[in-house]
Amino acid sequence: MNRMEEYQALMEELERPVPELETTLDRAERKKRKRDRRILRPVAGVAACFVIFVLLVNFCAPVAYACSLVPGLRELAEAVTFSRSLTDAVENEYVQPISLTQTENEITASVEYLIVDQKQVNIFFRLDSDVYTGLEMSPRVFDAQGDSLGCSILSNNFDAENGELRSITVDFVDENVPDSMILGLEVCSNTQLYEVGIAAVDQALSEENIFADDPEEPEYLAEFQFLLEFDPEFTASGRIYPVDQTVELDGQQITITDIQVYPTHLRVNVAEDEDNTAWLVGLDFYIETDWGMKFDTVSSGITATGTTESPSMISYRADSTYFYQADHLKLVITEAQWLDKDRDTVYLNLVTGETGQLPDGVEFLSAQRQGSDWIVSFKVEYGDDEVMGQVFDYDFYDAEGTAYEINMRSTVVWNEEFGEPNEDGTWDYYVEQFPLKNYSDEEVWLSLIYTDKWTAENEIVVTVQ
Amino acid sequence: MNNEEFAKRVEAVRTRPFKTAMVYLDSEAQALDAVDEAVYKALCGRWKLRQPEYFDTWITRILINECHNELRRQKRYYPLEELPETAAEEFDALPLKEALRRLPKELKDVVVLRFFAGYTVAETAEALQIPAGTVATRQRKALQLLRLELEEEVLR
């Protein structure tokens, strides 16, 4: 075969049909959606919940009644006031008492109560010691064989005193709570945490970078493992109400597929029309019974969950109606947040400050070179809820499309350093600040959590029988 | 560039990037991976392309980078040195595929796009971001080394 024959043979080889090429774009879109996924987005609302706790325990008659019936539940009632659903659960004695105690290195850990249903486990426990004060812990959970579980864990207490009842929430999105699980607690003293924190601050100051590398893990004083076995009556608790009603929000079609009511929380599940030009990333609503009692979206813990298929949030959490009788429920949608499908990232020139279109109320503030990092700051206007919400996601891109991750961020309260306060001394803005670590380019494309916020002129009402 | 336009343009250029990747990598599976990665990167950065008419050459540039990255990875395990332009006899002794792989990078980039993926001189120049005259010079050298008598586009 001479050269030209070889060439012809190679050209024929290249002309062979390759069916997989038909689906290249699908694969790219799937990969991008996976990159974009945001499964869980916890919010903090501890301070506000603390106020509710005081009101409930002191003035709520049913809670006081429940406390009087079962010894020990008064303290539990105090420990769950960050959640209206858990408060209702305790009031209705929806509690699995459990008594497990272990001691190691003069530290005693005891697990005392569980509030568990089909999708969530709330574990109430104490740490105590005559030797150490200010005990802190890092929780982990495994299945009974010691393998990882597909769940998220939230600690509900910080700075708890020795002997004080604490809790953690283990939340399952798709899977159900298993029959049993192992709870691991790694315990250290807050003095150790303080020292580690001080060392981290020293390092940050020496490097003139507040986002220096993660501090080292503290040395743990004790490690505990408890096997928690759940009463099947509790893990079977859950009611699903099919809805399948489509509503138009801000010109986009959203279908409310069903409402799932569990003792610990309520889920409103939605599906989006493929032709929508934006992904639904936030939904504000309330649930109302036929006799007028309202249940709001949760103010602490997990507020919404998504999937790997798109950046959308497809399941939204509210306080549970589980312990209340109602002939029908009304879902009233008041606000939504969108991520425009064509604006999921925004351009920023780190040298000139030139930006692409940012969400309303967000302005570029500064980009400072610190060592091999850029520290980027944006000025963000408070929304009506006065929450310091997150604008930018955890990934960013260079001009070649190479992905990088943001592994730290801080939200800074606006102060005199940035500008003058309002006449009443309040501030309309806060600052979202994060590092682009080891990033040398002058141009960057930042991922957005949302592009637009929408408020319904007239409330959108969906009735659920 | 919105999603719809992006999809249309990917549809329009699909086979050329694949042919390009096939010549570089000589493996259907690796070529598909390289095309997938290039389309993914283009999808992530589609809004950076201010002039959609350059989509074809832009995605080609991304693809060639992917192919070079893959070749660099392979080189760690299967070292394959380029032959210099002066090694005419060695090129003669190699089968065409092997000779292509051992061309100096600058010559290979040009000859792959021009004579295997079907790009014009102007498109090749745009994709590689070099002057058209340089494309013409490099393609002539490459064809000589490969002993291929293919018609060269007349530059105006």
Mind listing the pLDDT tens digit for each residue in A76-110? Answer: 888 888 889 999 999 888 999 998 999 998 999 99
B19 at the A interface (CB within 8 A)?
A: yes
**Considering only CA atoms, which of A315, A429, A318 is closest in space to residue A377?**
A429
Given the DSSP bridges, would you call strands A403-405 and A452-464 parallel, antiparallel or unpaired? unpaired
CA distances from B78 to A40, A432, B12, B64, B83 (A): 43, 48, 35, 20, 16
Q: Does B98 touch chain A (CB under 8 A)?
A: no
Find out whether A448 and A343 touch, Cβ atoms under 8 Å.
yes
Q: Does B4 reach chain A within 8 Å, measured CB to CB?
A: no
CB-closest option in B23, B44, B150 to A397: B44
Helices (H) and strands (E) in chain A, counts: 8, 26
Q: Minimal Cα–Cα distance from A94 to chain B, Å? A: 48
Select, from the ranges A141-150, A293-302, A447-456, B57-66, the one with the highest average predicted confidence (pLDDT). Answer: A447-456
pTM of the model: 0.62
Tokens matching residue A226:
């408890």
Sheet holding A429-436, edge to edge: A362-370, A373-381, A429-436, A410-413
Picking from A149-163, A241-255, A434-448, which range would have the lowest pLDDT averaged per residue? Answer: A149-163
Q: Is the pLDDT of residue A418 over 70?
A: no
Query: What residues contact residue B7 under an 8 Å CB cut-off, 6+ apart?
Result: A25
Residue B14 forms contact with A (CB below 8 Å): yes
A119-176 per-position pLDDT tens digit: 999 999 999 988 887 888 889 898 888 887 878 888 887 678 889 999 999 998 888 9
Of A6, A347, A356, the CB nearest to B96: A6
Number of Cβ pairs < 8 A linking chain A and chain B: 87
CA distances in angstroms from A411 to A365, A369, A392, listed in the order given: 13, 19, 11
- For residue A66, what pLDDT is reported? 38
Q: Does B51 touch chain A (CB under 8 A)?
A: no
Counting residues of chain A whose pLDDT is more than 90, the rounded percentage is 40
3-state secondary structure chain B: CCHHHHHHHHHHHCHHHHHHHHHHHCCHHHHHHHHHHHHHHHHHCHHHCCCHHHHHHHHHHHHHHHHHHHHHHHHHHCCCCCCCCCCHHHHHHCCHHHHHHCCCHHHHHHHHHHHCCCCCHHHHHHHHCCCHHHHHHHHHHHHHHHCCCCCCCCCC
Chain B CB contacts of A23 under 8 Å are none
> For residue A48, what pLDDT is reported?
25
Determine phi and psi for A377, rounding to 5 degrees: -130, 140
What angle separates helix B121-128 from helix B55-77, to the nearest 10 degrees?
60
The interface pTM score, or ipTM, of the predicted complex is 0.84
* A57-66, A82-91, B122-131, range with the lowest pLDDT: A57-66
pLDDT score of B70 more than 90: no
What distance in Å separates residue A185's CA from the closest CA in chain B? 41
The C-alpha of A342 sits at a distance from chain B's nearest C-alpha, in angstroms, of 6
Cβ-Cβ contacts under 8 Å for B52 (sequence gap 6 or more): B1, B5, B9
Calculate the alpha carbon distances from A47 to A260, A284, A299, A314 in Å: 28, 21, 10, 28
Residues A356, A443: Cα–Cα separation, whole Å: 11
Find the closest chain A residue to B144 by CA distance.
Answer: A3
Of B19, B43, B148, the CB nearest to A14: B19
Lowest mean pLDDT among A61-70, A322-331, A346-355, B122-131: A61-70
Per the structure block, which two tokens stand in for A127? 């740490």
What integer pLDDT is reported at residue A197 of this predicted model? Answer: 56
Between A145-154, A256-265, A288-297, A367-376, the lowest mean confidence (pLDDT) is in A145-154
Calpha distance A62→A53 (Å, rounded) = 14
Q: How far apart are CA A116 and CA A234, in angstroms?
A: 6
Q: Is A451 exposed, middle or buried (0-12, 13-18, 19+ CB in 10 A)?
A: buried
DSSP-derived letter for residue A21 is G
Q: What is the pLDDT of residue A100?
A: 94
Q: Within its chain, how far is the Cα of A275 from the centroid?
A: 27
Give CA B74 to chain center in angstroms: 17
